[in-house]
Chain A
Amino acid sequence: MKTRIAWIAAFALLALLPGLPEPIGTAFHLELGAQVLTMAIFALSLQLLVGCTGLVSLGHAAYFGAAAYVVAMLAPQSEAGNGWWLLAASVGGAALLALLIGLLVMRTRGVYFIMVTLAFAQLVYFVVHDTSGFGGSDGAYIYFRPEFRLGGALLFDLQKPAHFYWFTLASCGLTVSGLGMVLRSRLGHAFAGIRHNEQRMRAAGFPTVAYKLASFVIAGGFAGLAGFLYAVRNGFVNPEILSWHQSGNALLMVILGGLGSLAGAMAGAVSFVLLSEWFQSLTKHWQLLMGGFIIGSVALLPHGLVGGFRALRRTRPAAREIAR
């Protein structure tokens, strides 16, 4: 219960950002906030797969990018598209792609699974990169941000940075509560069982391939949500959002933050994005600082930022280590 209050408090504070006075509440910081939250959703979706089910995917950007491209291809060029329909189509499209690829990759294990997910993500990358219909290597535009109407009234005016920030924050809240609910449910406990000892889960009677596929599709869907938000915010999609670098970044955020916990994924995403922004503003050779930070965190924090943080205040033994 304690952690739920912490989550609600954190999100309430974040909701205040647009209201803050000028130097902080500027349009740029709202865009930056939306960018960080979008990456957080992407990292959270991968955490369900890597940290909670033990399936390390190096191709998660395929679903992020697929959703973004669905929005780019379906959004009308002359006027704002219907938000609900585009959101459903992009998240559904990403989940469907995850189902198709998931069905194929579940036969492999361990490092081979990592490489097969990479292979399929690269296939999707080259299909998008080499077909002119998708805008080729230069990418494609989304001319108008979609609108979310409820009975004619405009629910969200995504043109305004504050509204868009709140929309992204709500999506992130939905992701955290949704994934939290799944992890606390029977399905989530089955994922944890598979992560710790898949052999024993099969011996108990769980069709583990079906469960792993469910985790793959749910993670793909939430990655699609992040892809949708990216496309709508930037109004521009490019094959590079499907590249293995994007998948690698998501994996790094999850490892950096700490495997297994949603807070870890959030912390990993926030620190990865904000630190690279901050280091870039300091020096031209910012990658040296970023590399140093990453190496330092591996050496000093074996369980990631949040894992390490938890270790510091280890008051009582983590009786039940089920991902909170």
Chain B
Amino acid sequence: MRPENYQAVSHPPSHEYEVFFGPNHPGIEGNYALKVRLHGDEVTAARADGGYLHRGFEKLMEGRLWIQNIALVPRICVPDPVPMEVCYSLAIEALGGLEVPERAQWIRVMQLELSRIAAHLFTFGGNAATTGMYTPMFWGIADRDLILDLFEELSGGRVYHIYNIPGGVRRDLPEGYLKRVSDTLDYIESRLPDYDNLMFTNQVFVRRATGVGIMTQEQALDWGVTGPNLRATGLPFDVRRDDPYLIYDQLEFDVPVEEAGDAWARTLVRRAELKQSLRILRQVVARLPEIDGPIRAPIPNPLAWNLPLGDVYTRVESSKGELAYYVVSNGGDKPWRVHVRGPSAMHAVQVLEHLVTGARIEDVAQIMFSLDACPPEVDR
């Protein structure tokens, strides 16, 4: 615990407590902590604590060549690394005036959606575990592993794929790859009734999530909430559709919304989104074989690559919400500034502090997981 957290609580009344919720807590993601003040079992105040994760990515990136940073960015969000790679690459491409070949764009979308499915499966598991249901966690992680297998085959790495590179992607698809993607999609689709049965229609979970961590659409907008959390308050906004990048405008998919704005609504949005991702991937698997051509635009020697003076703000829809990179070049061979705007920066600090205030202590973990916050995005 941090020194500030060692400060003795100043003579609380006997029914008031201060509780350190994390970082060593199964209900907390990553090295993150909440310091909550309790009145009985009711949270009266909460402070988010950035945790011990700080690796100074933004500073590190300023000391590395444009291309070297591709090995760094996926580490900012471990469960959903592809949006990080793509968003950074999009920024470099915009600054350098690179046209990403169409095939590479399709391959990127394929990865982005696979990564989204993997991330959602992971989150379902964690979310269920906060209510004491551990089977969905085992399932979620085991099924996510099948997607990691696909990533391993594609990129050589299961978690840190480092597969996207400014200009496109680093390798073409292995022989027969789309068939295996298709098989995995079939399998995951066949599992959905199991998840419904186990989790989404399970009254233990439904009732623990319903009415918990409610935010109105007005609040959500006020707090800068994005992604599934925002859509769970009834606003149908999705960067993929409304600020399109890559070839998302050539794909058919819905933007699912829920109205209730509670933990359950957020879970339902993710459940529906996973199906949309499967739908997108079916289209990619069908179309990708027809799209020939290079997988990467020609790029200069990475050791001698100056990007023109300029700045760019690129956004993608990650599984957590709006992910953006603000990249500034001073004309040199390294970024002058990279600012990572992770969706969780909002969700895990201000929003979480608001939502847990007034909640009961047993719902804190549920609220946190329902927001699907990824602490490394805060503490990047």
A and B, one complex? no
Give the interface of A toward B (CB within 8 A): none
